[in-house]
Chain A
Amino acid sequence: MRTLWISLKIAVRALMLNKVRSILTLLGMIIGVGAVIAIVSIGEGLRADFQRQMSSLGADVLYMTPKAPKRPGQAARDPDSFDMSDMEAIREQCPSISWVTPSVMAGVNAKRNNNTEQTYVVGVDERYLEYSATASLDKGRFFTMAELRGAARVVCVGDEMIGKLFEDWEDPIGEYVKLNGISFKIIGTFKHYTGMINEGGDINNGFVSPISTVQKRMIGNDDVYWVTMYMAEGSNIDAVKEEVAVVMRQRRRVRNASDDDFQFISPDDFMKMGNQFINVMIGIFGAIAFMSLLVGGVGIMNIMLVSVTERTREIGLRMAIGAGRPTVLSQFLVEAIVLTLIGGIIGMLVGFAGAVAVAKALESSLGGMWNPHIPTQWVVYSVGVSVLVGVIFGTYPAFKASQLDPVEAMRYE
């Protein structure tokens, strides 16, 4: 313990003696650790934000979409959509589903005066605003049950699409817009949405209309592209999935569960997919950033070797008055570790600051802001990794120092 303390004192003194050199060596380490930490905290911040948004969907929601069944040796085909009678069947035969609501989507050509935009219209039912995580009404109103029944030509529209079709001073409410050549009345506008949830399309750039209207006037049949279901309180998600699956298998004439041509997605699944994606991203970017840490480590080794050479006579002297090989070894090893540890800690701060700067810079271009975030275990990791870098790259120079012959060393010039 005492040896360690002495080594530490000698190390700090040696580092102070050669300020420029120590600062440059530190800088390499700071940048290396900083790069890795910046990547991690951007990624972790993104993950935290994503999870917060996903949890706003609610734990009781379950989505169902068609799925192309995998049959070995056959080309993949687009699966059949659902239709309105499927909704009826789920409503009647699945007691653990408290509420089921269908959605469709169609690409449309939106036209007003001389402005033409390619976009899409989502068809939903009258309770859309209650369950949508992205849409909230800004001005006007949403469509009514009567309009849904009558397949009325009314739409609500996102703010960016309004900006593209209308002049600034115009009030879009009550105006008409042509979707695929059919005239629709705009009855409401949506607030701007900034977030990662995507319910079929970018709500800021799209239209929302009664599902009956989209089916009848855009698609020409009663197809349903995805289904949003709410589970009754206290039901187990796997049991609910199986309950709906049994009904759907019967309706879609699927014999085995492995041939299912539909699939369920819950917010949990989204969360898993998002986590996986972020892990891959942190992995790739982190690996590249790790290269700078490696280079920093190599720099430390180089400088430690120089240090050992320069202080050959000092080492000889210390050995002559009784310092053992382990003492010399620990002296230089501690010096390397002190360097990497200080570099690592400063690097952590610099990296986090860098992440905040990147998030700020991206805020304007992405339209969304997330807070970079360092999980506590990463603080421990980076301290550990810093020490490890010191050990890996400091051992060889320290070992070299400890193997010096005191007689030769003292004579060295």
Chain B
Amino acid sequence: MSSIYVLIWTSLRLAMRQLVRNKVRSFLTMLGILIGIGSVVAIVSLGEGLKAMFVGEIATQANADLIWIMPDAPMQPGRLPRGVKLFNNHDIDMIGKSDYIVDTYGVHMMESVVVKHGWRSENVQLVMANYDYFPSDGWIVEHGRMFLDSEDRARAMVCLVASDIDETLYDKHENLLGSYLQINGQRFEVIGEMKERSAMAGGSTANKMVFVPLATGQDRLAGTDDVYCIAAKVRDTRELQEAKEDIATRLRASRRIRSGADDDFQITTTDDWANFANGFVNTLITVFGIVAVIALLVGGIGVMNIMLVNVRERTREIGLRKALGATATQITWQFLVESMTLTTLGGVLGILIGYALGLGVALIMKSLWDVFWWPSVPMVWILAVVCTGLGLGLAFGVYPAWRAGLLNPIDALRYE
């Protein structure tokens, strides 16, 4: 057992000596591998960095412990989904009874209500929801306050308005907070104003909306207990999958969907978004990576070429070692270890160069398009690169090494 270690150790020492003796040649051979590994690592580090940024962004965008339940229909901002049954309070109750769920809230909207203030009036969209829906969907109260849970339960006549409402319905000097708005003929007190949102995040009508508590809206404006979207908070984010399945079963029962028929609702979590983004970036890494791997192949061929030269140049040395009792295996190992040392060293340096390259590209992108993320090389990839280095050395070194081992000592000693 120990003899193999001795063999490898001896080969390693010989290899190092050889590489140092022929510095320029070793460097150029390594350079080939280094550029190949470097390009792959640059691509991977940019991709992994992008993934990390996506995950981070998604984590700050929405809460990871929320499950969104919507009808299985195309969504258009500002419009209710059509052609499908909406949810109702019974569905919400059913979901709330799940062991995995600690809290539920519903969202509904009316595509158009008449809002009147003084002599001005306007058609706007109305959103009715439980109070904890708002922060989870990115709504921030800029002035005033959010309504309370108790106001929701008591069906209080309070509302919040989006940022454009005061421009169209109010005079400049008028106080928005504490004033009254007529919504479909009923008087609501304005208790808060939302921060302005971009059309990207909230849809085209985002800044022309009014908001009321869910129960108030259902009872006094909509007249139904319809809800078009339900959010459920899970007890433990590790149970997201189980929670999703449980919700699906409960909803199928509550909506009386026959077994065999498709779900008429869809359940999404932030996990789904992250998975989607990861899949996308992985495709990118693969496509670009395949092109980069070609350079690695060329580098490997260079290693093989140089190892063949080495074997030939050292034919007499090989003959001598064989004459002194070295076996074919020992000679083969000597050259194999030499090529593997070359490629592994090249690979490790390639990680550094590749990361630097990735960082360079990231900085260029920052100056060109003002997007920036830190490239990252996960531990797994460092391990993978080392293995790739060893594998390349093996793959492209085995033929020259095998030829060296086969040399006849008598001919080899005589070789000139």
Contacts and interface: CB of A to CB of B under 8 A. Distances in A.
Contacts of A75: 196-199, 207
A180 B298 contact: no
Nearest to A119: B74
A274 to B, nearest CB: 19
Contacts of B24: 305
B294 A298 contact: no
Nearest to B204: A78
Given A76-B198, A291-B295, A303-B305, A118 B74 contact: yes
A367 interface: no
Interface string A298-326: 11011101100010000000000000000
A302 B36 contact: no
Interface stretch (B48-56, B81-89, B147-155): B81-89
Contact of A108 (B83, B299, B301): B83
A295 B207 CA distance: 56
Given A21-B309, A116-B72, A302 B298 contact: no
Interface stretch (A5-13, A25-33, A123-131, A379-387): A25-33
A22 to B, nearest CB: 10
Contacts of B43: 288
B28 interface: yes
Interface stretch (B136-144, B259-267, B324-332): B259-267
Contact of B74 (A35, A109, A292): A109
Interface in A131-187: 178-182
B302 interface: yes
B261 A114 contact: yes
A295 B82 contact: no
B310 to A, nearest CB: 9
A221 to B, nearest CB: 10
A299 B75 contact: no
A297 to B, nearest CB: 9
A178 B84 CA distance: 11
B260 A114 contact: yes
Interface string B188-215: 0000000011111001110100000000
B401 interface: no
A357 interface: no
B50 to A, nearest CB: 14
A75 B313 CA distance: 71
Contact of B294 (A35, A220, A303): A35
B169 interface: no
Nearest to A290: B295
B31 A298 contact: yes
Contacts of B81: 109
Interface string B59-80: 0000000000000111111000
Contacts of B292: 288, 291
A258 interface: no
B302 A302 contact: yes
Contact of B299 (A107, A115, A289, A295): A295
Interface residues of A, number: 50
Given A76-B198, A291-B35, A24 B301 contact: yes
A28 B294 contact: no
Contact of A27 (B77, B200, B288, B301): B301
Contacts of B31: 295, 298
B352 interface: no
A115 B262 CA distance: 7
Contacts of A196: none
A77 interface: yes
A179 B203 CA distance: 24
B360 to A, nearest CB: 12
Interface string B247-280: 0000000000000111010000000000000000
A294 interface: yes
Given A298-B35, A306-B306, A288 B291 contact: yes
5 closest cross-chain pairs (CB), A and B: A107-B74, A78-B204, A180-B83, A180-B82, A299-B302
23 contacts: A24-B301, A27-B298, A31-B298, A39-B291, A75-B198, A76-B200, A77-B198, A107-B74, A107-B75, A108-B82, A109-B84, A179-B83, A291-B292, A292-B36, A292-B295, A292-B297, A298-B28, A298-B302, A299-B301, A302-B32, A302-B306, A303-B309, A305-B24
Interface of A: 20-21, 24-25, 27-28, 31-32, 35, 39, 68, 75-78, 106-109, 111, 114-116, 118-120, 178-182, 218, 220, 284-285, 288-289, 291-292, 294-296, 298-299, 301-303, 305-306, 310
Given A35-B291, A78-B199, A305-B24, 10 more contacts: A32-B295, A76-B199, A77-B204, A114-B262, A181-B84, A289-B291, A291-B295, A296-B302, A302-B29, A305-B25
